[in-house]
Amino acid sequence: MDSIIVRGGRELRGEIPIAGAKNACLTLMPATLLSDEPLTLTNAPRLSDISTMSDLLRSLGAEVTALQSGQVLAMSSHDLSNVTAHYDIVRKMRASILVLGPLLARMGQAKVSLPGGCAIGARPVDLHLRGLEALGAELELADGYVAAKAPGGLRGGTFEFPVVSVGATENVLMAATLAKGTTLLKNAAREPEIVDLAQCLRKMGARIEGEGTSTIAIEGVDALHGATHPVVADRIELGTYMLAPAICGGEVECLGGRFGLVEAFCEKLDAAGIAVEETGRGLKVARRNGRISAVDVTTEPYPGFPTDLQAQMMALLCTAEGTSVLEEKIFENRFMHAPELMRMGASIDVHGGTATVHGVERLKGAPVMATDLRASVSLILAGLAAEGETQVNRVYHLDRGYERLEEKLSGVGASIERVRGQ
């Protein structure tokens, strides 16, 4: 099993290109199931999750071809041969559930295994199912699968999400594009990935209004056509690499970044004493002077502070001056990185959904274990600032969400290398 070695203490200077958003691409790919014409995605990230979704789509009869070293995905679902998404693929990734809505909308039936994924809480799919039921879907859960049918096709309806759910909003939004009549989604997620999906679907002929707000209206059409669409920049990768010079000094420009993607995050960086400048090419980040200041963070649905940047922010605050309180309101069991940071000398108290971080002057390198995707990269960020050598084990999580991480960080001066497992 691979591990990553980080030798800390180096300032970072240069440019880091930001890839297309993993979460956006994993949503856009199932949209190919809605049409028998080709869908091409540009600026696709080169990640293991993208490969998994490609395998899933192929298992349904779709054609998926990676071009230009994987940054272009050419897809076609003109000859779907299967409406069952089997457990052996779906178990690898929670985003697999996003084939349910498109399959049901176009084929009138679908059978999808309940998904697996990373260990950061239950993350149930009940909102996906309730939203589809509001469009007339008939659902049955048996033997670990969701069997759905709509013999006469889906019909428009109104559904208010009891809590904001990005995945459920995406699934129901895609299904509604082919439903008869008008669908109204209330308390919908507002993330940039939702906006990106709606823009792509509109290029395919869908009639959608209100994306980026809490109410989305969709007027169903008889069929969608082909399109070409660029995947939006990954705001979580962007935020992660913005923290690199913040945590160990220097100045880095994140190419392709936009302030609007990470506004709440930038507000916390500013309060901590980190300058963020929007340039014509991206976002330039540097400490203002000296040690950073403690700040309190509460994760919230977009446009609030992203839960997927909480672990990385904790790594930064480990060496802040003062005490910071991080409150996790999106997922339970998402402080598993805290004990590993404590192995590096951090002072952290965790009580339920709250972590109190008492800043220390410096961290020290140590062997640590990655528990999930964002925890993995938080330990690498901590290693950049730590004295000595940090060995991060079980880094297979990283490959699900960060392409060429070692190359990007070493390109701005970090001492980082991957050690291949036996």
Residue 116 has pLDDT above 80, yes or no: no
Residues tagged in the binding site annotation for phosphoenolpyruvate: 22-23
Strands 145-149 and 138-142: antiparallel
Same domain, 404 and 350: yes
Q: CA dist 10 to 23, 35, 38, 385, Å?
A: 31, 50, 47, 8
Q: Which residues define the annotated binding site?
A: 22-23, 94, 123-127, 308, 330
Q: Which of 191, 206, 230 is the last residue of a domain?
A: 230
Q: Which of 184, 215, 230 is the last residue of a domain?
A: 230
Helix, strand, coil share (%) of the chain residues, nearest 5 = 35, 30, 35
| Mean pLDDT value across residues 81-100 | 92
Please check whether residues 119 and 216 belong to one and the same domain.
yes
Q: Which domain holds residue 142?
A: 22-230
**pTM attached to this predicted model:** 0.89
- Pairing of the two strands 39-42 and 227-230: parallel
Confidence class for position 122, pLDDT limits 50, 70, 90: very low
Lowest mean pLDDT among 107-111, 357-361, 396-400, 413-417: 396-400
Q: Quick check: helix, strand or coil at residue 250? A: strand
What pLDDT shows up at residue 209? 98
Q: Which residues are catalytic?
A: 118
Q: For residues 72 and 193, state if they share a domain.
A: yes
pLDDT of residue 397: 84
Beta partners for residue 138, in sequence order: 149
Among candidates 8, 11, 4, which has minimal Cα distance to 363? Answer: 8
What is the arithmetic mean of pLDDT over 350-376? 94
pLDDT in tens, 135-182: 999 999 888 899 999 999 999 999 999 999 999 999 999 999 999 999
pLDDT tens per residue, range 13-53: 999 999 999 999 999 999 999 999 999 999 999 998 899 99
In this structure, the answer to whether residues 8 and 53 fall within a common structural domain is no
**Strands 72-76 and 63-67, how do they pair?**
antiparallel
- The helix/strand/coil state of 377 is helix
The yes-or-no verdict on residue 117 having pLDDT over 60 is no
Same domain, 140 and 217: yes
Cβ–Cβ contacts within 10 Å for residue 18, how many? Answer: 26
Whether residues 254 and 226 share a domain: the answer is no
- With a cut of 90, say whether residue 203 has pLDDT above it: yes
Residues 293-322 have pLDDT tens digits of: 999 999 998 999 999 999 999 999 999 999
pLDDT (average), residues 198-214 = 98
The count of structural domains within the chain is 2
Which residues are within 8 A (CB) of 281 and not within 5 positions of it... i.e. 6 or more apart?
253, 255, 256
pLDDT at 94 over 90: no
pLDDT band at 248 (very low <50, low <70, confident <90, very high): very high
- Of 211, 230, 249, the residue that ends a domain is 230
- pLDDT of amino acid 121: 44
Weakest-pLDDT range from 204-218, 328-342, 380-394 = 328-342
> Are both 281 and 375 inside the same structural domain?
yes
> At 118, is the pLDDT very low, low, confident or very high (cuts 50, 70, 90)?
very low
The DSSP symbol for 47 reads -
| CB contact at 8 A, 131 and 172 | yes
Are 221 and 247 within one domain? no
Are residues 215 and 278 both part of a single domain? Answer: no
Instruction: State the SS3 of 254-312.
Output: EECCCHHHCHHHHHHHHHHCEEEEECCCEEEEEECCCCCECCCEEECCCCCECHHHHHH
Same domain, 171 and 286: no
Q: Which of 66-70, 123-127, 388-392 shows the lowest mean pLDDT across its residues?
A: 123-127
For a pLDDT cut of 70, what percent of the chain falls above it?
A: 98
Strand order in the sheet with 158-160: 158-160, 182-186, 215-219, 207-209
Residue range 279-283: mean pLDDT, rounded: 96
Statement: residue 114 has pLDDT above 50: yes
- Residues making up the binding site for UDP-N-acetyl-alpha-D-glucosamine: 94, 123-127, 308, 330
| Cα Rg of the chain, angstroms | 22
The chain-wide mean pLDDT, for the chain, equals 94
Tell whether 335 and 213 lie within a shared domain: no
Q: 120 pLDDT exceeds 50? A: no
- Is the bond leading into 303 cis (omega within 30 degrees of zero)? yes
Same domain, 81 and 218: yes
20-24, 113-117, 275-279: which range is least confident on average? Answer: 113-117
- Could you say which DSSP state residue 19 is in? P
List, as one string, the DSSP characters of 124-136: --HHHHHHHHTTT
H or E stretch at 73: strand 72-76
Q: Residue 355 forms beta bridges with which residues?
A: 326, 350
Instruction: With beta carbons less than 8 A apart as the criterion, state whether 248 and 384 touch.
Output: yes
* CB burial readout 313-330, b (16+ within 10 A) else e: bbbbbbbbeeebebbbeb
CATH of the domain at 387: 3.65.10.10
Which residue type does 101 have?
A: G
The confidence score (pLDDT) of residue 146 equals 92
What mean pLDDT is predicted for residues 123-130? 84
